Amino acid sequence: MFDAIVVGGRVAGASTALLLARKGFRVLVVDKARFPAEIPHGHFIHRQGPRLLHHWGVLDNIVRSGCPVVTKWTMDLGDFPLTGTSLVRDGVAFGYGPRRRLLDAILMEAAIASGAEFREGFSVDDYVLDGTTVTGIRGRSYESGAHVTEQARITVGADGRHSSLARAVGAAVYEVIPPLACWYFSYWSGTGVDGLEMYLRDRNVIFAHPTHEGLTAVFIGWEISEFPRVRRNVAASFMSVLERVPALEPRIRSARQEERFYGAGDLPNFFRKPYGPGWALVGDAGHHKDPCMALGICDALRDAELLACAIDEGLSEGRCLMDALAGYEKQRNAAAMQLYHQNAYQAQFKPVPEELLALRAAIRGNQEETNRFFLAQEGMIPPEEFFNSDNLQRLKARAGAGAEQKVAA
The answer to whether residue 8 sits within a structural domain is yes
Q: For position 368, what pLDDT does the model report?
A: 97
Residues 399 and 320 in one domain: no
Residues 324 and 222 in one domain: no
Give the integer Cα–Cα distance in Å for 393 and 401: 12
Of the residues 264, 299, 328, which one is the last residue of a structural domain? 264
Q: For position 319, what pLDDT does the model report?
A: 80
pTM comes to 0.95
Residues 386 and 241 in one domain: no
Give the integer Cα–Cα distance in Å for 289 and 271: 9
Q: How many domains does the chain have?
A: 3
Residues 120 and 163 in one domain: yes
Q: For position 318, what pLDDT does the model report?
A: 76
Of the residues 201, 229, 264, which one is the last residue of a structural domain? 264
In the chain, DSSP finds a helix count (H) and a strand count (E) of 14, 23
Q: For position 125, what pLDDT does the model report?
A: 96
Residues 381 and 365 in one domain: yes
The answer to whether residue 154 sits within a structural domain is yes
- Alpha-carbon distances, residue 67 vs 40, 46, 60 (angstroms): 17, 14, 10
Of the residues 214, 240, 264, which one is the last residue of a structural domain? 264
Angle between helices 11-22 and 48-56 (to 10 degrees): 40
Give Cα 272 to chain centroid, integer Å: 17
**Contact call for residues 59 and 53 (beta carbons, < 8 A):** yes
Within 13 Å, how many C-alpha atoms sit on residue 40's CB side? Answer: 14
The answer to whether residue 216 sits within a structural domain is yes
* Residue 278: closest CA among 128, 116, 124, 126: 128
Mean pLDDT of successive 10-residue stretches along the chain, which has 409 residues? 98 98 98 95 97 98 98 97 98 98 98 98 96 96 90 98 98 98 98 98 96 98 98 98 97 98 97 98 98 97 98 89 97 98 96 95 97 97 96 90 55
CATH number at residue 209: 3.30.9.100
Residues 363 and 319 in one domain: no
Residues 22 and 105 in one domain: yes
The answer to whether residue 89 sits within a structural domain is no
Domain that holds residue 169: 2-39+100-176+269-345
The answer to whether residue 68 sits within a structural domain is no
Residues 400 and 340 in one domain: no
Q: For position 402, what pLDDT does the model report?
A: 63
Residues 169 and 196 in one domain: no
Q: For position 407, what pLDDT does the model report?
A: 45
Q: For position 405, what pLDDT does the model report?
A: 56
Residues 376 and 234 in one domain: no
Q: What is the dihedral of CA 280, 285, 291, 293, to 10 degrees?
A: -10
Residues 279 and 294 in one domain: yes
* Residue 13: closest CA among 162, 156, 166, 112: 156
Number of C-beta neighbours around residue 195 at 10 A: 19
Residues 170 and 186 in one domain: no
CATH number at residue 297: 3.50.50.60
First to last CA, the chain: 79
The answer to whether residue 62 sits within a structural domain is no
